[in-house]
Structure 1
Amino acid sequence: MASDHKEFIQRGSYGVNPRGTATFVGLRSLDPFLQYQIITHGSAIVSKLGLTSLPSLSGLSLAKLPLPSQILLAMSAGSALKHVFWVIYLAKEKMIPGTAIGVGIYNSVVNSLMSLLLVTTATSAVLASPSVAIPGTSQSLSLPIVLGTAMFAAGIVAETVAEVQRKRFKDDPANKGKICTTGLWSWARHPNYGAYTLWRTGYALAAGSWPAAALVAAWHGYTFMAMSIPELDGYMNGRYNEQWKRYKKDVPYLLFPGIF
């Protein structure tokens, strides 16, 4: 997981909090249904705000929705599925109810804003140019939607792979007391944070085009650099000391290998 909850994790407090886990799974699982309601009834919300919306999608089933709307709903479902997989299978620290509620609300608020951007004429990535033809069909999508979809898919996969690699490393008794330095962790010190930023930016790009993507990228870059990374650096330095210092020297990149 990423900056939307990292500062609230009780590091070193291992185990399972059933109520916290159930709350987290429940809230994240509800998000795709919330986004469907916003996308199909968003025109009424946008009108109340005094803005112009795309044609109403009220009453349309998922299969009948325009492709951009289906893509955004798939992103909501994909990110929820990834988070549920994380809390059930990957996480070692306890997920307490308060954190579960905070993270669940944060994700739904951000996703809801993206859904509203998609259905608002002034911000929708649907109307952005240029457009890209979909091979084998008569349809086309705007470049922001195509690029955003690719970024989302790459980010979700990379974040999951990084966290699975770390879990497998930590689960091996031979690696007790060692920092994971294999796989994606040999390329950057926080590949999961970089991947999270990538898919969150892709989500915003596919919804609200370039301005939304720039704001989301800047926001997550700031929260990682100002909060999550310093907090984790202090924890790792206190626990691993010289091993952590050596790792930082061997792997100079924070988020994106070869870039930053």
Structure 2
Amino acid sequence: MSEKPLHDNVSRHKTPSAPGRAVFVGLRALDVLWQYRLLTRGWASQCIERLGGHSIPITQILSSATSTSLTPYYTLVTLLSLGSSIKQIGTMLFISEQETPVPSAIAVAGFNTIFNSANTLLSVWSLTSQVPAETEVPLSPGEFVLLNPLLSLGVGAYILGILTETVSEVQRTLFKKDPANKGKPYGGGLFSLATNINYGGYTIWRAGYALICGGAAPAVVTFSFFFWDFATRGVPVLDGYLEDRYGQAYKNIKERVKYRLIPGVY
């Protein structure tokens, strides 16, 4: 009995796909507003209460002393969604060459919004929220991050992951745009550290996002989910595609590059 082929979440055909790209960009931009409204309108708190949980007091979420109307911690939570949207919109507009049908654009954008929304809910649930304890002296965003080791680790992982994903993809795009490299697979730059290091970067910033919003347990679950999915599906699917397209040239890169997702891990 033959094994069921692994599912590839993206098309490998290269077409402009203007409608799909426009839908994706629009939905990812709207995600930032959605996460902001979840907090400022109290929708996230109401959802937690309706599910039987206890929400963080509204005085620790909203603030009239900031331009965002949110306390520093929840401003940070909103900025996480903003950073993820900017990264993915930039990728869609300037890096991605793959066909993007409208249904696929909706599915991928929706998937990211669901994950971001789950993190926003975790950030207001009293059991998981990493909101700093109230102090007599108001703290700046930088101060409250530095005073909380988990927040510092989460911010570091988020920045490292997004930069790794972005820089690696930019390096690969610049390589492809050089006519001298036509028909050659890319195994330089950050991709010389892991053949799918952009996937590893995504895994790391997603875990950092969850750590900031929900603490260690959600971060471990998030990291494990994406690591498992990429290791058992994403990497094998892409390996098969690249081997079919580039043959021995890509196999040589795999022999040279020891790791697949995260240097030192896998």
With the length of structure 1 as denominator, give the TM-score of the two structures. 0.90
Q: Deviation per CA, 1:1-38, whole angstroms, max 9, x where unpaired?
A: xxxxx923221x21211110010001000011111111
The alignment status of 1:109 with 2:114, answered yes or no, reads: yes
Q: Deviation per CA, 1:206-253, whole angstroms, max 9, x where unpaired?
A: 000000000000000111012111110111111111111111110011
Looking at structure 2, the residues matched to 138 and 24 of structure 1 have their Cα atoms a distance apart, in angstroms, of 36
* Counterparts in 2 of 1:229 and 1:138: CA distance versus 1, 3 Å: closer
* Counterparts in 2 of 1:246 and 1:71: CA distance versus 1, 3 Å: same
What amino acid is the match of 2:108? V
Deviates more, 1:44-53 or 1:187-196: 44-53
Looking at structure 2, the residues matched to 127 and 150 of structure 1 have their Cα atoms a distance apart, in angstroms, of 17
Looking at structure 2, the residues matched to 91 and 25 of structure 1 have their Cα atoms a distance apart, in angstroms, of 12
SS of the aligned residue for 2:15 comes to: coil
1:221-260 maps to which residues of 2 (within 5 A)? 221-260=227-266
* Counterparts in 2 of 1:9 and 1:139: CA distance versus 1, 3 Å: closer
What amino acid is the match of 1:55? P
Task: Tell me what 1:54 maps to.
Answer: 56
Aligned-pair RMSD on alpha carbons? 2.2
What amino acid is the match of 2:56? L
Looking at structure 2, the residues matched to 137 and 155 of structure 1 have their Cα atoms a distance apart, in angstroms, of 20
> How far is the alpha carbon of 1:143 from its aligned partner?
1.9
Task: Tell me what 1:15 maps to.
Answer: 15
Post-superposition, which runs of at least 4 consecutive aligned residues in structure 1 deviate over 3 A?
57-62, 134-141
* Counterparts in 2 of 1:137 and 1:98: CA distance versus 1, 3 Å: closer
Looking at structure 1, the residues matched to 132 and 77 of structure 2 have their Cα atoms a distance apart, in angstroms, of 15
Whether the 8 Å contact between 2:159 and 2:205 is mirrored in structure 1 is yes
Looking at structure 2, the residues matched to 86 and 15 of structure 1 have their Cα atoms a distance apart, in angstroms, of 15
Whether the 8 Å contact between 2:132 and 2:144 is mirrored in structure 1 is no
Whether the 8 Å contact between 1:126 and 1:145 is mirrored in structure 2 is no
* Counterparts in 2 of 1:35 and 1:62: CA distance versus 1, 3 Å: farther
> How far is the alpha carbon of 1:137 from its aligned partner?
7.5
Whether the 8 Å contact between 1:152 and 1:198 is mirrored in structure 2 is yes
SS of the aligned residue for 2:84 comes to: helix
* Counterparts in 2 of 1:78 and 1:240: CA distance versus 1, 3 Å: same
What amino acid is the match of 1:87? M
> Aligned residue pairs: how many?
250
What amino acid is the match of 1:49? L
Whether the 8 Å contact between 2:15 and 2:99 is mirrored in structure 1 is yes
Looking at structure 1, the residues matched to 217 and 91 of structure 2 have their Cα atoms a distance apart, in angstroms, of 30
> How far is the alpha carbon of 1:45 from its aligned partner?
1.6
Identity over aligned residues, as a percent?
Answer: 36
* Counterparts in 2 of 1:238 and 1:127: CA distance versus 1, 3 Å: same
The alignment status of 1:26 with 2:26, answered yes or no, reads: yes
Whether the 8 Å contact between 2:63 and 2:69 is mirrored in structure 1 is no
Q: Deviation per CA, 1:84-143, whole angstroms, max 9, x where unpaired?
A: 100110001121101100011101111000000000001112269xxxxx7998646432
Whether the 8 Å contact between 1:155 and 1:198 is mirrored in structure 2 is yes
Task: Tell me what 1:3 maps to.
Answer: none
1:1-260 maps to which residues of 2 (within 5 A)? 7-11=8-12, 13-40=13-40, 41=42, 42-56=44-58, 57=61, 63-126=68-131, 139=144, 141-260=147-266
* Counterparts in 2 of 1:69 and 1:14: CA distance versus 1, 3 Å: same
With the length of structure 2 as denominator, give the TM-score of the two structures. 0.88
* Counterparts in 2 of 1:15 and 1:215: CA distance versus 1, 3 Å: same
Task: Tell me what 1:131 maps to.
Answer: none
> How far is the alpha carbon of 1:58 from its aligned partner?
5.8
Looking at structure 1, the residues matched to 76 and 218 of structure 2 have their Cα atoms a distance apart, in angstroms, of 17
- Structure 1 stretches of 5 or more lacking a match? 1-5, 129-133
